[in-house]
Amino acid sequence: MSVPSRLALVPFISVDNMMRFVLHIGVERMLVELAQEIEADFRRWEHFDKTPRVASHSEVGVIELMPASDGELYGFKYVNGHPANMHAGLQTVTAFGVLADVATGYPVLVSEMTFLTALRTAATSAMAARALAPTGAHTMAMIGNGAQSEFQALAFRAICGIEHVRLYDIDPAATRKCAANLAGSGLRIVPCATAEAAMEGAQIVTTCTADKQYATILTDNMVGAGVHINAIGGDCPGKTELHRDILLRSSIFVEYAPQTRIEGEIQQLAKDHPVTELWEVFAGRAPGRTIAQQITLFDGVGFAIEDFSALRYVHQRIKPTGFYQDLDMIADPDDPRDLYGMLMRAKALAG
């Protein structure tokens, strides 16, 4: 048997190596650079082959595939969402992804994406807020202090200049965890006893809760004029965080309307309710925030192009770091037509 060729060996990034890579780059620097990559791809949105994610729903959660291609590279992410996992000591969301060369169909990267999804979600949130939030915003309310919360806070600090973060979670232990993790980050962290208290003085409100149900995390009377809402928890059918009346008062921005109308806050609205896809803002085809009193809402459910951008970012930078393993996962016979012969040679060597 011959030694596998370069194309047959696929770089694989384990959880351990992803953590090493993130720490090597630096969390905030990586958030900034991911936001730059995602924004660049949003600006060339029309070059992508796009589809809403393919979802398999059950009573306990959802398993999804999220594909996208720009004609040169193809990427997909496998991701789940199981809110009850937390009670069993398991992650609510886990993920892995693949990036492939369109010309050959060969994979060029296989990676964990639980950490990477948290980073790209936070980078996307802050990227959107930079275009939509009120000028000079310095305080954010973080409603929901689970696995995503620290990444969100650091992204808004690095990308939007947020200085103060007011925390609230229905579980006080989650708030204590988040506050402890963000100690020394340069942010002023204020734990709060209620969602209303967390929103006092906040120009940006991020909601990121996990329960798979129609919920009202924010009621209409909690949202005043001029704020930006970053609603990222409502990411599947039957799951929301905002009262419908807030949506009716807001200018709504989404990633990919055919997906968001199924999964986002706007599933509460008529199918023809006007929304703006975020790429249109970055491409100069639509305005973002236009007046100070405007309520802007980013109804972020996560879209495959963001994962594509993140996988490409890692693929471009991982080799010099050495934080990967080569996987022998592509059959590499001497004669591409003789796959069986490769098996027989393996048998002879084993015998």
Q: State in Å, rounded, how far the first CA of the chain is from the last one.
A: 13
pLDDT at residue 1, as a whole number: 43
Over the stretch 167-226, which tens digit does the pLDDT of each residue have? Answer: 999 999 999 999 999 999 999 999 999 999 999 999 999 999 866 566 788 999 999 999
User: What pLDDT score was predicted for residue 93?
Assistant: 87
Lowest mean pLDDT segment, chosen from 11-20, 94-103, 329-338: 329-338
Q: Does domain 6-115+305-350 have CATH number 3.30.1780.10?
A: yes
Higher pLDDT, 67 or 216: 67
- Tell me the catalytic residues: 235
Q: What is the pTM of this model?
A: 0.94
Reported as a single tens digit per residue, the pLDDT across 20-41 is: 999 999 999 999 999 999 999 9
Q: Say if residues 277 and 253 touch (Cβ distance below 8 Å).
A: yes
Write down the pLDDT at residue 3. 52
Q: What is the distance between the alpha carbons of residues 1 and 346, in angstroms, rounded to a whole number?
A: 7
Rounded-to-integer distance, Cα 20 and Cα 318, Å: 11
Q: What are residue 143's phi and psi, to 5 degrees?
A: -95, 110
Residue 255: Cβ within 10 Å count: 24
SS3 state at 254: strand
pLDDT higher than 50, residue 321: yes
pLDDT tens-place string over residues 111-170: 999 999 999 999 999 999 999 999 999 999 999 999 999 999 999 999 999 999 999 999
Question: Per-residue pLDDT for 234 more than 90?
Answer: no
**Cβ distance 76 to 308 under 8 Å?**
no
What's the confidence (pLDDT) of residue 237? 80
Instruction: Supply 6's token pair.
Output: 């370069």
The domain spans of the chain are 6-115+305-350, 133-301
CATH superfamily of 133-301: NAD(P)-binding Rossmann-like Domain (3.40.50.720)
Residue 76, φ and ψ in degrees, nearest 5 = -145, 155
Q: Is 164 exposed, middle or buried (0-12, 13-18, 19+ CB in 10 A)?
A: middle
